[in-house]
Amino acid sequence: MADLIETRDLIKAYALGEVMVQALRGVSITIERGSFVAIMGPSGSGKSTLMNILGCLDRPTSGRYFLNGVPVEGLDRDQLAEIRNRKVGFVFQNFNLLTRMTALENVQLPLLYRNSEPDDADELGRKVLEQVGLAGRENSLPTRLSGGEQQRLAIARALIGEPEILLADEPTGQLDSHTGEEIMRIFSRLNQTRQITVIVVTHAEEVARFARRIIRFRDGRIAADERNAVPAGDAEPAAEVLP
Ligand code: ADP
Ligand code: MG
């Protein structure tokens, strides 16, 4: 079977007025199904650009991207939308929640972008809230939740499409270190118990240590690709595993 993610020599150039900015300068990576990867590197090194391409939110200037062996450049708009809605879940630094909607409504948002909303939308919403420890908070507005709870809500929203891949761009960037660890434990659990492939961008070594593999970026290129033999989340007792 093909690798889940394979990129070959990805290049992304942005026109900034007269100047071309090279955000990616030839990135070739392979990520297997079930991986837990951290992407590190200084600000401006191309991490978000790569994440956006992996999530089919953006296209490279050149180079190839195979998702499950399928070349993404050959997909049409509908197929790309389907990938963003079903295959990939996104989590961002600033949570991106709708403040006037309840927790349950927020997690159900991705369902609105489907051709037909499922009959069991409420059940699905409650299930994903429970998976991130927010059972009972269905009717809370995001503004009544702590930062950690808001990010858990954003993770629940990412989970509602039962994605194969979770892409998180600096998900702990606005959280204190303790809360950041809680978020990383959730990713770790989703990776271990559901075999969801998790890719997390972070600046912090203590966040990256939860991953099994750490890819370091510099100036739009991969500078290092390391295995982490003892990821932090592995020491968790089985009792912490959610259904
Ligand atoms: P990182 O996430 O590692 O901080 P980014 O991928 O956001 O880095 O950015 C890489 C480079 O590309 C930076 O120099 C950034 O300024 C530039 N860049 C990113 N997005 C755009 C854009 N939409 N237009 C112009 N330049 C961009
Ligand atoms: Mg970034």
pLDDT in tens, 38-55: 999 999 999 999 999 999
What is the Cα–Cα distance from 33 to 24, expressed in whole angstroms?
A: 24
Tell me the C-alpha to C-alpha distance, in Å, between residue 79 and each of 71, 75, 86, 87, 118.
Answer: 12, 6, 10, 11, 20
pLDDT of 171 strictly over 60: yes
Give me the pLDDT at residue 99, please: 95
DSSP state of 84: I
The percent of residues above 90 in pLDDT, for the chain, comes to 88
| Protein residue whose Cα sits closest to atom 5 of ligand 1 | 46
Whether 136 lines ligand 1, by a CB cut-off of 6 Å, is: no
Give me the pLDDT at residue 172, please: 97
Give me the pLDDT at residue 119, please: 85
Give me the pLDDT at residue 236, please: 58
Give me the pLDDT at residue 116, please: 75
Q: How far is CA 8 from the centre of its chain?
A: 21
Whether 202 lines ligand 1, by a CB cut-off of 6 Å, is: no
**Ion ligand 2: residue ranges with CB closer than 5 A:** 47-48
Domains of the chain: 34-44+80-234 (3.40.50.300)
pLDDT-derived band at 237, boundaries 50, 70, 90: low
Which residues, in sequence order, are CB contacts of 231 under 8 Å at separation 6+?
36, 188, 209, 210, 211, 212
Give me the pLDDT at residue 157, please: 97
pLDDT-derived band at 242, boundaries 50, 70, 90: low
Q: Shortest CA distance to 204 belongs to which of 66, 57, 38, 60?
A: 38
| Protein residue whose Cα sits closest to atom 11 of ligand 1 | 23
What is the Cα–Cα distance from 122 to 105, expressed in whole angstroms?
A: 9
26, with CB counted inside 10 A (0-12, 13-18, 19+), is middle
What is the Cα–Cα distance from 165 to 102, expressed in whole angstroms?
A: 25
CB atoms within 10 A of CB 224: 11
Give me the pLDDT at residue 1, please: 80
Give me the pLDDT at residue 93, please: 95
pLDDT of 241 strictly over 60: no
Give me the pLDDT at residue 132, please: 97
Contact 82, 124 (CB under 8 A): no
pTM: 0.94
What's the average model confidence in pLDDT over 219-240? 83
- Per the prediction, the chain carries an average pLDDT of 94
Contact 26, 11 (CB under 8 A): yes
What's the average model confidence in pLDDT over 3-7? 97
pLDDT-derived band at 114, boundaries 50, 70, 90: confident
What's the average model confidence in pLDDT over 106-112? 93
What is the Cα–Cα distance from 23 to 3, expressed in whole angstroms?
A: 25
User: Cα(240) to centroid of ligand 2, in Å?
Assistant: 31
Residue count of the chain, please give it: 243
Q: Which range among 47-51, 122-126, 177-181, 233-237 shows the weakest confidence by mean pLDDT?
A: 233-237
For residue 101, the SS3 value is coil
